[in-house]
Amino acid sequence: MYSYEWEQLQTRLPQWVEESRKQHVHGQVAAYIPELSKAPKEALGITIMDGRGNTITSGDCGCIFTLQSISKVFTLILALMDNGERLVFSKVGMEPTGDRFNSMLKLELVEPGIPFNPFINAGAIAVSSLIAGNSIEERYARILQFFRLLAHNDRMDFDQDVYESESATGHLNRSLAYFLMEKGILRGKVEDVLEVYFRHCAVNATCADLARMGLILAYNGYDPIRNEQLIPRRYVQIAKTFMTTCGMYDASGHFAIQVGLPAKSGVSGGILTMVPGRYGIGVVGPALNRMGNSTTGVHLLETLSRELDWSMF
Amino acid sequence: MYSYEWEQLQTRLPQWVEESRKQHVHGQVAAYIPELSKAPKEALGITIMDGRGNTITSGDCGCIFTLQSISKVFTLILALMDNGERLVFSKVGMEPTGDRFNSMLKLELVEPGIPFNPFINAGAIAVSSLIAGNSIEERYARILQFFRLLAHNDRMDFDQDVYESESATGHLNRSLAYFLMEKGILRGKVEDVLEVYFRHCAVNATCADLARMGLILAYNGYDPIRNEQLIPRRYVQIAKTFMTTCGMYDASGHFAIQVGLPAKSGVSGGILTMVPGRYGIGVVGPALNRMGNSTTGVHLLETLSRELDWSMF
Amino acid sequence: MYSYEWEQLQTRLPQWVEESRKQHVHGQVAAYIPELSKAPKEALGITIMDGRGNTITSGDCGCIFTLQSISKVFTLILALMDNGERLVFSKVGMEPTGDRFNSMLKLELVEPGIPFNPFINAGAIAVSSLIAGNSIEERYARILQFFRLLAHNDRMDFDQDVYESESATGHLNRSLAYFLMEKGILRGKVEDVLEVYFRHCAVNATCADLARMGLILAYNGYDPIRNEQLIPRRYVQIAKTFMTTCGMYDASGHFAIQVGLPAKSGVSGGILTMVPGRYGIGVVGPALNRMGNSTTGVHLLETLSRELDWSMF
Amino acid sequence: MYSYEWEQLQTRLPQWVEESRKQHVHGQVAAYIPELSKAPKEALGITIMDGRGNTITSGDCGCIFTLQSISKVFTLILALMDNGERLVFSKVGMEPTGDRFNSMLKLELVEPGIPFNPFINAGAIAVSSLIAGNSIEERYARILQFFRLLAHNDRMDFDQDVYESESATGHLNRSLAYFLMEKGILRGKVEDVLEVYFRHCAVNATCADLARMGLILAYNGYDPIRNEQLIPRRYVQIAKTFMTTCGMYDASGHFAIQVGLPAKSGVSGGILTMVPGRYGIGVVGPALNRMGNSTTGVHLLETLSRELDWSMF
């Protein structure tokens, strides 16, 4: 009934997780706000879900963490559904940068001044400002509803403490947002846009949520469990392309070579990835490498891709 | 009683002004706020004041304009008087940049992240945050009092319309300020600092005011008319050095070669300069060249320096 | 016997070629050396080859052009075969840049100073210096032999005139090479490395050659016609990943979104691409867009990918 | 007969030198070629010469060192004498950079691509290419003759070992030169220009030579000892302006604030400076600070300027 690969996963995943967990000594938990710094540095968990809803979990899958940059995948998709490709790509570009995720340098060097892509902070803030809705509340509610739909989890919501800390200390994001306002990229008021942005970054999730959301992407917007097309296939294609070229900050090229799967990481240590047409995968490992990706999570995904020949290239 | 040079100036200045006025065709009046865009493009005026208070004026000296970046010279001096060299230079550097006045690029490339010098916008905002006072009102009042003292003009105050326009559209300055906040450079709240900053940039002046203020600098902080030391000599020395190396945006090097006098320009077309030990000089010509300096004013000062051998080098 | 898609291609390709050919008015033929500037601006040709060696051609497939940057794909593979992953990736990185192909900026901003990836000029020069061989002649001979093997074409060789022009005017590449030498990245003498580099960039090819070479990559290093593994699969995987993330200069992200196939373009207007597991494809259209890619060729590939659903994402 | 200041200097200079010598612990001798690395780290010497040829020396004035970047002051003057202002300033700009002396970054960011100023390496190489002469030998001979004339020392010549080492390892300067060639800035062949450049940088001098050369600049091109105008005053004015705004690498702004004299440093630890109208000054102290300036020499000049009120601002 189960494939050979699935059996391999069931048998060997615990050992691979323990092997990768050791990498936590090379990483640091994000410490820019107190809420993130409390995450257990040595934790590592993974959930893999197939198209019939079967799951394999291993390690610390009970961890609850905030989506952070992983949310950018889904706000991009929602912004595309709300506005279409033409409008969205008049506000953000399509190019990977090779620069740090919060770089201002790139904003200055590029004409006509739009952010390089929707996954650097400047681009994600621009995208957030495109979500339809007449108020902060309405826009956030639409985003949350979309996340819940994809994760099949109605309890998802943002963490108030994380949100407040991010909002209180988010000077760099404010700086980026005012720069975008100066360039005419932002829709609405800076503080309103940032409130929506800080909220969706602070939405809580588990590996199971990520795996479920990833499964929809792995099936090109179709939910194979509920048998329903939730997202137009083209918008998933766009999202998966960006996840491949710029989903792992300035280690995206390295991840493409060593893992070869569309993925998006967040500063809380989460990684959402997938094996196209087969699995949705959620990983969490709070110890970050200097590129801002989960050092244990990346090691685990490298192992899986190498052992199971998962690279799409 | 008057020197040969003074007689030369009285005789030939009107002709030099008319010659330089023609350069207005190569410039553009600043148009980023409506108040500035109304300035007469072809206007050019100059006031020269010597140590006994004698003045020569020529051209459109009746113009009232806002100090804009010229105010940065005096907020730097006041910040030095309030805090001393050590503290001020822990918040801003001493190096010219060769970059545009509002560049963010430089903020990113430099360690440990302090603005290059007190005359680029980021540096001037950092300096503004150092002015002593318990409230926005008190800090602005101290700045204004200082400007009035130096200009010997109690009617000086900020232009409400210019202030409001600058504040409403100053997204780039907000962006810079939040970046400085992120880096721990700014003292106080971003919006408070910016309010003080926007106000002192919006203080109205005439060529006569600039000449009077410049005279104090030309005499190293001593007012030769009222016989009183108004500023410690060392702080004037610092200000004059910065005026020489970075007073004219990214044409400062060019101005040093072609004019060779300490000077500071503003986007309203004003230039404050001096002949050390001899004259204070105020110029206004709203047509700006692409570096942001008065195209007619720079031409006039090049003529004066060349004809009267005024370069300090 | 033939698939529906193959029949579609046979029927509709001529019309798609003619439609895309019109885009030549938006491009410019490379003019930095006289040999390139002679290419016919309105030309557009394509060859598609399947795993049994069947080909479809359309448009100006008789064109002979130089590989230019397309050669970088194969020198990378050969350098990997000669040295292994570890050594090669100690000399070049894995990250896309978002910058112009000949940027020096990136060289300076990155630690520890290795070129971002093997497809920017600096990276390709570094890779060229890794090809085994005791002399310029031997190293070039090994490269040429490898190209001939993959293209199944023993007449391939470099164009003497193009080589000499490139060598005579290649000041920027010399500048890059000396920079790499300074940083300890280059193996051998600058002039020797550049001679090999200029030669392999000047190797002549046709669309049929590109399609044949692309077919080997589409089959992961296996030649389905001669039934022989020519390249270790892992090195083809690496090459295809780079082709996806940085094969089309600083429009690589755009190409990934709009076409979604591994590809590499050259300044002569050539593009080598593939449909993984199915076709090798060679395109030539000398009119370049401002990113340096064939404007007609990119348009044609966008049409094919959209109409035939070829994106791998 | 001697001024009070001169007596002060005679009395106190030895103590000031010993005090500044202690700073050598904070510096490093340049080590990129073996010849430079042999310089005694703790050495510090100074020669001050007045307009009648009186000299005060203190410390290790017997040191012989190579001019390195100090030579750029005089090749600039000679290029101006050979070509006039208009031509020279079509090849180099007038702006300080705030960047490292060998930055390529600045070359790329500036339009129309000319080096920022004649004292960064790229600018100095461009200036070297403007020296008149039909051969390498003739151009170098003219430069050397000019140096000897100003230093009143016919034994000056380049150090063969230093020259050969610089030439053998000067990959970065080659990189810059080819970049300039690409941009059409360079006159002549790259290797010829660099040979002249490497030679004039390798000319040997002592503190006495620097003081004598500085004296000519302090007197605006007039030699007060031989009663002869050696350089047109305007070209000295230009040189002194550049020495003030960009003579001390990216610590030029700091030096202007803390010393306030025109100066030029070299990587061998030499500094040529002057008190305008009064003294020529030569300093040598091989221990360099991280900006590339003599750490002991800068400390000594800061002391002198502060104690004797030498700042020109």
For D132-167, what is each residue's pLDDT tens digit? 999 999 999 999 999 999 999 999 999 999 999 999
Q: Does residue D112 have a cis peptide bond before it, meaning omega lies within 30 degrees of 0?
A: yes
Is residue C240 within a helix (H) or strand (E), and if so which, with residue range? Answer: helix C233-246
Q: Which of D17, D71, D72, D265 is catalytic?
A: D72
Is residue B283 within a helix (H) or strand (E), and if so which, with residue range? Answer: strand B279-284
Rounded CA-CA distance C205/C288 in Å is 18
Given pLDDT bands bounded at 50, 70 and 90, which one contains residue C104?
low
Rounded CA-CA distance C43/C58 in Å is 11
Contact call for residues A157 and A144 (beta carbons, < 8 A) = yes
For A121-157, what is each residue's pLDDT tens digit? 999 999 999 999 999 999 999 999 999 999 999 999 9
For D203-235, what is each residue's pLDDT tens digit? 999 999 999 999 999 999 999 999 999 999 999
Tokens found for residue D159: 């150090």
Give pLDDT, residue B105.
58
Tokens found for residue D172: 């970065």
This complex has an ipTM of 0.95
Q: Which residues of B touch A (CB under 8 A)?
A: 103-105, 107-109, 171-172, 174-179, 181-182, 190
User: Across the strands, what pairs with C265?
Assistant: C271
Residue environment code for A102-114, b if the CB has 16+ CB neighbours within 10 A, otherwise e: bbbbbbbbbeeeb
How is chain B split among helix, strand and coil, in percent rounded to 5? 50, 15, 35
Per-residue pLDDT, averaged over B13-25, amounts to 98
CA angle A191, A194, A199 (to 5 degrees): 130
B116–D98: do the CB atoms touch at under 8 Å?
A: yes
Rounded CA-CA distance B227/B219 in Å is 11
Per-residue pLDDT, averaged over A17-33, amounts to 96
Rounded CA-CA distance B229/C232 in Å is 82
The reported pTM is 0.94
Given pLDDT bands bounded at 50, 70 and 90, which one contains residue C111?
very low
Question: Which comes out higher in pLDDT, residue D115 or A247?
Answer: A247
Query: Left if phi > 0, otherwise alpha if psi is -120 to 50, otherwise beta: which for A214?
Result: alpha
Q: Does residue B189 carry a catalytic annotation?
A: no
Of C105, C109, C179, the CB nearest to D172: C179
C105–D103: do the CB atoms touch at under 8 Å?
A: no
Rounded CA-CA distance A104/D207 in Å is 46
Q: Does residue B72 carry a catalytic annotation?
A: yes
Phi, psi angles (nearest 5°) of residue B48: -120, 130
| Closest CA relative to residue A312, chosen from A267, A290, A279, A270 | A279
Question: For C281, which DSSP code?
Answer: E
Contact call for residues D122 and D107 (beta carbons, < 8 A) = yes
Q: For chain D, which chains pass the contact test of at least 3 CB pairs under 8 Å?
A: B, C
Rounded CA-CA distance C191/C187 in Å is 11
Of B99, B237, B260, the CB nearest to D241: B260
In chain A, residues with a C-beta closer than 8 Å to the C-beta of C312 are: 312
Residue C31 clears pLDDT 80, i.e. is over it: yes
Tokens found for residue C114: 């290795």
For A64-123, what is each residue's pLDDT tens digit? 999 999 999 999 999 999 999 999 999 999 988 765 555 565 565 554 578 889 999 999
Q: Where are the beta strands (DSSP E) in C165-310?
A: 204-205, 222-223, 228-229, 263-265, 270-275, 279-284, 287-288
Least confident of A147-161, A173-187, B286-300, D43-57: A173-187
D252–B241: do the CB atoms touch at under 8 Å?
A: no
D253–B98: do the CB atoms touch at under 8 Å?
A: no
Q: Which of C236, C267, C275, C283 is catalytic?
A: C267
Of D103, D105, D171, the CB nearest to C178: D171
Q: Does residue A190 carry a catalytic annotation?
A: no
* Strand-strand pairing, B45-50 and B55-59: antiparallel
Given pLDDT bands bounded at 50, 70 and 90, which one contains residue C114?
confident
Alpha-carbon C180 to chain mean position: 22
In chain A, residues with a C-beta closer than 8 Å to the C-beta of B104 are: 104-105, 107-108, 179
In chain D, residues with a C-beta closer than 8 Å to the C-beta of C176 are: 175
Least confident of A181-185, A292-296, B238-242, C133-137: A181-185
Per-residue pLDDT, averaged over C174-178, amounts to 92
Alpha-carbon A261 to chain mean position: 13
In chain A, residues with a C-beta closer than 8 Å to the C-beta of C99 are: 98
Residue C51 clears pLDDT 60, i.e. is over it: yes
- Alpha helices by DSSP H, listed for chain A, are 4-21, 34-37, 71-88, 105-109, 121-128, 136-151, 160-169, 171-182, 190-201, 207-218, 233-246, 252-258, 295-308
What DSSP string runs through C288-302? E-TTSSBHHHHHHHH
Residue environment code for C220-254, b if the CB has 16+ CB neighbours within 10 A, otherwise e: bbbbbbeeeeebeeebbbbbbbbbbbbbbbbbbbb
Of C93, C96, C311, the CB nearest to A245: C96
Which chain C residue's Cα is nearest to A118? C253
Rounded CA-CA distance B67/B272 in Å is 9
Q: Which percentage of chain C shows pLDDT scores above 70? A: 95
Give pLDDT, residue C106.
59
Can you tell me which residue has the tokens 């399947």? C50
Nearest-CA distance from A179 to chain B in Å? 5
Rounded CA-CA distance B104/B169 in Å is 18
| Closest CA relative to residue B28, chosen from B15, B39, B12, B16 | B39
Interface test with B, best of A104, A189, A194 (most B CBs within 10 A): A104
Question: For D215, which DSSP code?
Answer: H
Per-residue pLDDT, averaged over C12-38, amounts to 96
Per-residue pLDDT, averaged over C146-166, amounts to 97
Residue environment code for B77-94, b if the CB has 16+ CB neighbours within 10 A, otherwise e: bbbbebbeeeebbebbbb
Q: Does residue C118 have a cis peptide bond before it, meaning omega lies within 30 degrees of 0?
A: no
| Closest CA relative to residue D212, chosen from D282, D266, D118 | D282
Contact call for residues A39 and A231 (beta carbons, < 8 A) = no
Residue A62 clears pLDDT 60, i.e. is over it: yes
